[in-house]
Amino acid sequence: MKYPAIIVVLASLLMGCASGEPKRATFAINEGQYAQAFDAARRTLRDMRFELDRVDARHGVLSTHRKHSAGLATPWDREQSSLSQEWEDFANHQFRTVRIIFEPVGAAKPEQPASPTAPSPAPNDLREFVGPFTGTVIVVIERRSRPNRRIDTTSIRLSTFARDPINRGGTFTRPIARDEHLERRLAARIQRRLASPR
C-alpha cells in the first residue's frame, strides 16, 4: 500500500519541477560589440547546421527555419544534449527552431511612458545604439503528429487512419517544450566566440 503513495509523491514533485518557468539563456555584449555579437550568433547557428530564416540586425532578431533530427538515427546532429533527447527525437518526428533576441541594456522599451528620469528609448535601428546589449536564446521543440490512428488488434499492417473533415486527415505540428539545454549551450558558444573571436 505504501508503494502507490510513494509514486504519487514522486509524480507530484516531478510535475512541480516541470511547471516552473524556464530560465533565460543569455549572453552579455559589451559596448561597441553589437555587430561582432550578431555575426558570432549567426556563425554559431550555421555551425550547428541551422538554416537561417530572419537575419535582422536593425531590430535585433535572428531566427531559423525548423530543423529536423532523428536523434539516434542521425548521429551527426548536435542539437541533443542527452541520451534521453536522442531517444525522443528518434521515437518522434521532432523539429527545433531557434530565435535569438538582442536587447540594449538600459534603454527604455517603446511602450514605457516617457518621464524626465526614464532612460532614453532604444533607437529604431539597434546598430546605432551606443552601449551594452543582452542576447537571449530561445529554442522551441515542435512535434509533428498524425491524429486518429486506429490500431488493429490482429496485425499492425491492418491499422488505418480516420479522416478528419476539418484537418482532412493530414498531419499537424505543434510546440511541445523549450529546449533549455540547447539554449544554454548556444548562449555559451556565442559568449566564447565573443571572448576570443576568430
pLDDT tens, the chain, 198 aa long: 444 544 444 444 444 444 456 678 899 999 999 999 999 999 999 998 999 999 999 999 999 999 887 666 666 677 777 777 777 767 777 888 999 999 998 765 555 554 455 555 566 889 888 889 999 999 998 887 766 666 666 766 666 666 666 655 566 677 888 999 999 999 999 999 998 866
Smallest CA-to-CA distance from 129 within 111, 106, 104 is with 104
Query: SS3 string of 129-146?
Result: CCCCEEEEEEEEEEEEEC
Compute the distance between CA of residue 44 and CA of residue 131 in angstroms, rounded to an integer: 23
| Grid cell digits, residue 115 | 518621464
Q: What is the predicted pLDDT for the residue at 198?
A: 61
Say which amino acid occupies 19. S
DSSP strand pairing (93-104 vs 61-64)? antiparallel
- Asked whether residue 28 is assigned to any structural domain, the reply reads yes
Contact, 151 vs 43, CB < 8 A?
Answer: no
Residue 82 has what DSSP assignment? S
pTM: 0.69
Provide the residue range defining the domain that includes 170. 22-195
Cross-strand pairs, 61: 56, 101
- Asked whether residue 3 is assigned to any structural domain, the reply reads no
Q: What is the predicted pLDDT for the residue at 92?
A: 74
In sequence order, what DSSP letters do the residues of 118-129 get, joined into one string? SPPBPPSSGGG-
- Asked whether residue 46 is assigned to any structural domain, the reply reads yes
- Asked whether residue 2 is assigned to any structural domain, the reply reads no
> How many domains does the chain contain in total?
1
Compute the distance between CA of residue 69 and CA of residue 87 in angstroms, rounded to an integer: 11
- Asked whether residue 157 is assigned to any structural domain, the reply reads yes
Q: What is the predicted pLDDT for the residue at 1?
A: 43
DSSP strand pairing (172-178 vs 67-69)? unpaired
- Asked whether residue 14 is assigned to any structural domain, the reply reads no
- Asked whether residue 1 is assigned to any structural domain, the reply reads no
- Asked whether residue 7 is assigned to any structural domain, the reply reads no
Question: How many other CB atoms are there within 10 angstroms of residue 42's CB atom?
Answer: 17
